[in-house]
A and B are shown apart, each in its own frame.
Chain A
Amino acid sequence: MDFDLSEEQSLVKDSVTRLLRAEYGFEAREKHRAEAVGFSEKIWQSFAELGLLAILFDEEDGGLGAGPVQTMIVMEAFGRALVVEPYLASVVMAGAALRHAATAEQRAAIVPGLVEGSSRLAFAFAERGTRYDLARIAMTARPDAGGYRLDGEKTLVLHGDTATGFVVAARTAGAPGEAAGLGLFHLPADAEGLTRRGFETQDGMRAAELSFANVFVSQDAVLGDPQGAWPAIARIEAETIAALCAEAVGSMERMVELTVAYIKERKQFGVPIAAFQVLQHRASEMYMALEQARSMAIFAAMNAGEEDEAARRAAISAAKVQIGRSGRFIGQNAVQLHGGVGVTMEYEIAHHFKRQAMIDLAFGDADHHLKLVADAGGMDERD
């Protein structure tokens, strides 16, 4: 067991950190957000040049074959800077779909564009009735002359308004609530019968509603077994949650840093407010919550690729619980300790607070995952 970064991991960390330091200060971020697509195409190209868009794909697909630890490093750095580019949507989520469901030929056709930054995918899974259970997907895919016809609505598709293509989860058999009968389909954003409506998110990003009206996809657009995509979907979910945990930890770390700096500088009653023990203890509690969250983000990274599904689910859910609770505690107290300026758009802290809140609600909040762990009988020690 060794928590030090390898040379390669340190290189990735250093290069991401350097880029974000130079190009992604709080004000620069506001500029990136204001661009037409809701993020900076230039930054996206920089990610491509640094190889960040390639790290998760296997070498034979044109990727770098790095593992979950590197994803963790990248996402943590993104969390610190509140990166708004569609990395989670395109690289982590759609990338996982390709790795776990697509054939080598399909990957050969799709991955190069993603890696060089010319195409971006979004993963469309959520519907009005899915909430935190992806098995509740109702949208249908009917077999039709050498392919499938997609009908239905997808919503809350992260970066769906600017994606060049989608991975869509739809039902070829069974009823909502059943894990069996789901398929994954890859299609271009300009497919006939597909319309989208973009919107802004609370945390400064973009997302879309998609409407499918008799959209045709050919057989070679089916990623894997059209009725048996559930294991791949479960893996996408696990890897996405692990990545979100790392992002959340980066953001929490920044919040603790900003708050500690602020209370040292802010003076009231003639002294820096950090002189008051009640604030010192609150800051200590925030720090503890951060370290506990960091530990669980590492635990999630360790287990995101675990083969035993029950063990993987327990680990990922446990991490999501800790991240949700720590993120809420740190976020609320960071705003509180900043006082009035904490509830303004002008201060960085408010933007972290909002991102934390949305991360908790993505793929199941703390209570949802606590229930999953509890219903599975707890965290059984498997050693």
Chain B
Amino acid sequence: MDLKFTPDETEFRAEVRAFIAENVPKDAQETLRAGRHVSKDQLVRWTRILNEKGWSVPHWPVEFGGTGWDPIRQYIFLDEMQRAPAPQMLPFGHSMVGPVIYTFGSEKQKDRFLPRIANLDDWWCQGFSEPGAGSDLAGLSTRAVREGDQYVVNGQKTWTTLGQYADWIFCLVRTDPAAPKKQMGISFLLIDMTTPGITVRPIRTIEGGHEVNEVFFDDVRVPADNLVGEENRGWDYAKFLLGNERTGIAGVGATKERIRRLKEIAKAEPAGTGVVWDDPRFREKVAAVEIELKALEMTQLRVVSAEARRGHGKPDPASSILKIKGTELQQATTELLMEAIGPFALPYEAEEIEGRNEPPVGPDYAAPIAPNYFNMRKVSIYGGSNEIQKNIIAKAILGL
């Protein structure tokens, strides 16, 4: 057991840090520091800079554009991206459909899609959840019927994150309603968002933003070439994908960056004759979160290091801890930010979502704080709700 990073790993961290500092678009970094969401344009620019360096899909196999880094290096890279902060790669292509395509897809699909994911030429979104299929994803009912060399798709997907920008959607669809188990009749289809019959309807989320959508399919004709792997094996591919989704899900680096900002704000916000930070109770609440975060960071390193030993790509049920604890801390820190800003959380600025024209009410850092607190309630719900994660721990680790 050697609990320090090796000199090579430390040198690698310095190299990554320097590259990010020199190359990350400054406007995107400012956006993130202010606790706001980056725009599509900012994300595309940064992805292309990384892709030119060969770092946009570091965890992929080298033959498809990956770096060959071991899990510790991938962890360091991600940690540096989050702490910089730099925009994080959009997961839908990068860590969801990309790995499914290079693992289960046809040669044609690999050639066609993978380079365009690495360069963010194609913006992907995810078509898994449905109004009637959330935690019980296998209960999905969107139908795909084979007609000649096409599938005809009818149904509805929901919670489609950033689907309004998407060029493509990867969907779980039911191809065999008569299968003996509901998991057995599902296929994995890649669908061009410009295909006739697709309608995208925005869902306004709790903070007022437009992040998620409903996507309706009305006799949408999809070439059979866009089936990934075998028909009715889609559930296997989905499980593989969800196992990869944990990459960075703990968000340790991002939470650290949020705590840094929290301290800055608490030291600036007037309270009594001093500032919020003077209150020992407030400082103890922050310290409690920092301690849990340190524990989580160590837990994440243990999971990553076990993965390095076990071989890449086999999901570890212990990653459910990362999801639960990581999201709890993301929520705790957004909550503390709101407590720090106090009454100046109140003003609602519609412009906040798309960019502001008028001077803010109160300090300029106030506007995104309440929206982030509202918005971050999602993290313990998505990606397999935290209750589902506890089921996984009970079953897969404790054998209950």
Contacts and interface: CB of A to CB of B under 8 A. Distances in A.
Interface string B274-308: 00000010011011101111111111011001100
A256 B399 CA distance: 12
A191 B165 CA distance: 83
Interface string B388-400: 0111011101111
Interface stretch (B1-9, B131-139, B367-375): B1-9
Contacts of B325: 288, 292
B298 A299 contact: yes
Contacts of A173: none
Interface of B is mostly: helix
A277 B301 CA distance: 30
Contacts of A6: 1
A285 B292 CA distance: 14
Given A283-B394, A379-B287, A274 B400 contact: yes
A9 B1 CA distance: 8
Contact of A371 (B280, B293, B306): B280
A274 B2 CA distance: 38
B290 A379 contact: yes
A370 B295 contact: no
Contacts of B318: 291
Interface string A352-371: 00000000000000000011
B72 interface: yes
A321 B400 contact: no
Interface in B1-43: 1-6, 9
Given A280-B394, A296-B295, A374-B284, A260 B399 contact: yes
B45 interface: no
Given A260-B400, A321-B291, A374 B72 contact: no
Contacts of A288: 321, 324-325, 393
Nearest to A1: B5
B72 A1 contact: yes
Contacts of B236: none
Contacts of A371: 280, 284
A378 B400 contact: no
A263 interface: yes
Nearest to A290: B321
Contacts, number: 134
Interface of A is mostly: helix
Contacts of A375: 280, 283
A292 B1 contact: no
B48 to A, nearest CB: 29
B400 A2 contact: no
Interface string A169-201: 000000000000000000000000000000000
B261 interface: no
Interface of A: 1-6, 9, 69, 256, 260, 263-264, 274, 277, 279-281, 283-285, 287-288, 291-296, 298-299, 301-302, 318, 321-322, 370-371, 373-375, 377-379, 381
18 contacts: A4-B305, A4-B309, A69-B3, A260-B399, A264-B399, A280-B395, A284-B389, A284-B393, A284-B397, A285-B390, A287-B393, A291-B299, A292-B321, A299-B294, A299-B298, A321-B291, A379-B290, A379-B294
